[in-house]
Amino acid sequence: MKQLLFVFIGGGFGSVLRFIIGKWLNNTENGIPYGTFFANILGSFLIGIILGYAAKNDTLSQNSTLLLATGFCGGFTTFSTFAYENHVFLKSGDFTSFAFYTIASFAVGFLAVFTGMYLVKFI
C-alpha cells in the first residue's frame, strides 16, 4: 500500500506540471502541441537521469524510484495525449505534421533518455 501512495503522489505532481506546461506551450492557433512534446522529452530526460543515477550509485530506494520514475515521470509524460494529437493530425489530413511530430518525439525522446543516463556518469 505504501508503494501505491508513492506512485500516486509522484503521478499527481507530474500530471499537474504537465497540465501547466500544456496550457503554457500548446499552440491553439495552429494546433501544434509543443507542451506535450516538451513534457515527453523532459520526462524522458529525467527518467534517464533518475534510473541512471539509481543504477550507478545504488542509492535511490525502491520507494524513491517509484515516486520519481514511475509516479512523477509516468504522470508527467503523456503517451495517450501524444496518440490523440496524432489522430487529430491524421484526421485533418496534415500528414506532414503527423510525420514530423511522431518521428521527432521518438528520436528526441530516446536521445533524451540516453543523454540523461550518460550525464549521470559525471555526477
**Quick one: how far is CA 122 from the chain centroid?**
23
Q: For residue 70, say whether it is annotated as part of any ligand binding site.
A: no
Task: Please state the length of the chain.
Answer: 123
Task: Give the cell for residue 55.
Answer: 543504477
Best CA proximity match to 7, nearest among 69, 77, 61, 67: 67
Q: For residue 96, say whether it is annotated as part of any ligand binding site.
A: no
113 CB-contact burial (10 Å; exposed 0-12 / middle 13-18 / buried 19+): buried
CA distances to 12, 48, 55 from 7, in Å? 8, 18, 19
Provide the annotated binding site for Na(+): 74, 77
Provide the annotated binding site: 74, 77
